[in-house]
Structure 1
Amino acid sequence: MSLFLTDDPNMLDDWLVVGPASALAGATEARPHAVRLLGTALRLWRDAAGAPQCRLGSEALAVQQRHGYLWVCPSGRPARPLFDFPEYGEPGRRLVDCGGIGVAVSGLRVIENFLDMAHFPFVHGGCLGMVPHTEVAKYQVEVDAATGEIWATDCRFWQPRASAAHDGSGSEVLYKYRVMQPFSAMLYKSSHRAGALDAIGLFLQPLDDEHVIAHTLLACYDDVSSDAELIAFQQTIFGQDKPILENHAFKRMPLEGRAETPTRGDTSSVTYRRWLRERGMRFGVRQAA
Structure 2
Amino acid sequence: MFKNFWYALAFSDEITETPSRHRILSQDLVLWRGPGGEVRALSDTCVHRGGRLSQGKVEDDTITCPYHGWGFGSDGACTVIPANGRGRPVSKRARVDSYPVDEQYGWVWVFMGDIPEEERVPIPDLSFMDDPKWRAIRGEWLWNANYERVVENGTDQSHTPFVHGGVFGDPKAPPVEEFEVEVGEWWARLTVEQRSPNKPAGKLSQLLPNSRAYKEEPPPVLVRTAFFFPSVVMIDLTIPKIGRQIIWDTNIPVDENTTLTKYIAYRDFYKSAWADRIAKKMVEKVFAQDDYVVTEIRPELIPDEMAGELHLRSDQMSLEFRRIREKAVEKGYSVLGSAEGTKTSKTIIASPYRREAGLENAWVLPATPEGVRAL
Fold match (TM-score > 0.5): yes
**What band does the TM-score fall into relative to the shorter chain?**
0.7 to 0.9
CA positional deviation for 1:286: 10
Q: Where do residues 163-182 of structure 1 align in structure 2 (5 Å cutoff)?
A: 164=204, 165-166=207-208, 167=211, 169=215, 170-182=218-230
| 2:42 equivalent in structure 1 | 55
| 2:11 equivalent in structure 1 | 20
CA positional deviation for 1:201: 0.6
What is the alpha-carbon root mean square deviation over aligned residues? 2.6
How many correspondences in the alignment?
270
8 Å Cα contact 1:202/1:216 also seen in 2: yes
- Secondary structure at 1:53's aligned position in 2? strand
Look up the equivalent residue of 1:243 and give its one-letter code.
Answer: Y
| 1:69 equivalent in structure 2 | 107
1:212 corresponds to which of 249, 259, 266:
259
8 Å Cα contact 1:193/1:221 also seen in 2: no
| 1:203 equivalent in structure 2 | 250
2:164 is equivalent to residue 124 of structure 1: yes
Q: What do residues 141-163 of structure 1 show as CA deviations (whole Å, max 9, x unaligned)?
A: 1313xx5421212x111113499
Q: Structure 2: give runs of 5+ residues left out of the alignment.
A: 46-95, 338-370
Deviates more, 1:196-205 or 1:245-254: 196-205
CA positional deviation for 1:12: 2.1
- Secondary structure at 1:152's aligned position in 2? strand
2:22 is equivalent to residue 35 of structure 1: yes
| 1:83 equivalent in structure 2 | 124
2:136 corresponds to which of 87, 91, 95:
95
CA positional deviation for 1:60: 2.3
Q: What do residues 88-114 of structure 1 show as CA deviations (whole Å, max 9, x unaligned)?
A: 1113111221x1111122211111111
| 2:195 equivalent in structure 1 | 158
Question: Matched residues in 2 for 1:230 and 1:76: separation?
Answer: 40
| 1:187 equivalent in structure 2 | 235
Question: Matched residues in 1 for 2:99 and 2:308: separation?
Answer: 38
Look up the equivalent residue of 1:179 and give its one-letter code.
Answer: F
CA positional deviation for 1:262: 1.6
Q: What do residues 62-100 of structure 1 show as CA deviations (whole Å, max 9, x unaligned)?
A: 112211111111225451221110221113111221x11
In the superposition, relative to structure 1, how do residues 104 and 207 fare at CA in structure 2: closer, same or farther (>3 Å)?
A: same
Larger radius of gyration: 2
Deviates more, 1:135-144 or 1:220-229: 220-229
Q: How much identity, in percent, do the aligned residues show?
A: 22
Higher strand share: 1
CA positional deviation for 1:257: 4.3
In the superposition, relative to structure 1, how do residues 193 and 84 fare at CA in structure 2: closer, same or farther (>3 Å)?
A: farther
CA positional deviation for 1:282: 4.0
Q: What do residues 27-72 of structure 1 show as CA deviations (whole Å, max 9, x unaligned)?
A: 32xx411111111111111112222111214432211221111111
Q: Structure 1: give runs of 5+ residues left out of the alignment.
A: 1-5
